[in-house]
Structure 1
Amino acid sequence: MDFASIDHGRPWSEDDYLALEPGGHRIELFDGSLLVSPAPTKWHQRLSLVLAAALDDAAADVGLLVMEAVNLRLRTGRLMIPDIVVADTDTDGGIVDAAEVVLVAEVISPSNAGTDRVLKMQLYADAGIACYVLVEQEPPGAATIRPHRLDGTHYVEDAAAGPGATLTMTEPFTFTFDPDALMRRVSRRRS
């Protein structure tokens, strides 16, 4: 389906949005408009999966769930699909509300870097989500992890860990980021 050619005739509601069939696109709802981007690359999805798996045990230890690519309601009419959500929620339903979320993570893709670094960063801050983690895929074949904490109405980067470094965060739960270990798992192939 070519979403650019849909003659919807009115702003998109949550019901309209939830009735869509994405057909290989990632579609998000922003104040009555659709944000459409291509499905993530295999590399992007593998990195997201490995990071989610790495976060899962630490989150579970404090009673939180880690989920990938779920509908996150920031407020009525704003549904984003972060790469990773960590929330105090159950597995019922199709939407996670921002009030349940303690951390969101986005793996930055070159095609939508501005969306993750600017638009989503502000939207997640406005929704009061305590921690925002950006994962940059630079240089190629490597990753840099940049956790941000909410400081009032905006995020502040606490630190960063790139190739050859590790970083431990203590809020909203204790977790050590090791970009090299993540990348070894991302690129692992069958022998």
Structure 2
Amino acid sequence: MAGILLAEHVPDQGRVLILGAGGGLELQAFSRAHPGWHFDGVDPSPTMIAQARRLLGSDTANITFHQGYIDDAPEGPFDGAACLLTLHFLRHDERLRTLRAVHRRLSPGAPFIAAHHSFPAGGDGEPDLWLRRNAAWLVAGGMDEAQALAGIETMKERLPVLSPAEDERLLIEAGFHDVQLFYAALTFKGWVARA
């Protein structure tokens, strides 16, 4: 889905920023579908970058890795960017700062794809409901129930999750426009926006 959304505006020889590129799965999918694109993959973990290099093997001619965070990324300009399953680790202020730094690196009108955990985070028990639903989905997919339920507490302790409305407000505050929700599955949400 992210590759399709990027391809609506990224030219055939475009340059794409991937924030949180460790592991390499999205780089693999994007580079196979769009061999003319050049990617700058940024990740703070040398272990995850090494994993991405192993996964991609010899398919790294159009990929440059940068160890670090958004401030360690090249200035661009980029024709598009994606940040998948990463922003939910950042607290509100750091998330906004990161989104602004991504926006600054994009060409005007370039697409940005973000997907991460986002669900109502109020104190009325609704977060627990969404987390239980997510755990039930994992169990239905074959995960051990005890492990899935333990994941609820881990997510509550470690992820500064924002509501979908808060996530959209941050994208707009960071300078993005045409913010559209393209994916929603229990606790996961995905947006496409334009710089």
Q: TM-score range by the shorter chain?
A: 0.3 to 0.5
Structure 2 length-normalised TM: 0.35
- Name the structure with the higher strand share: 1
- Name the structure with the higher helix share: 2
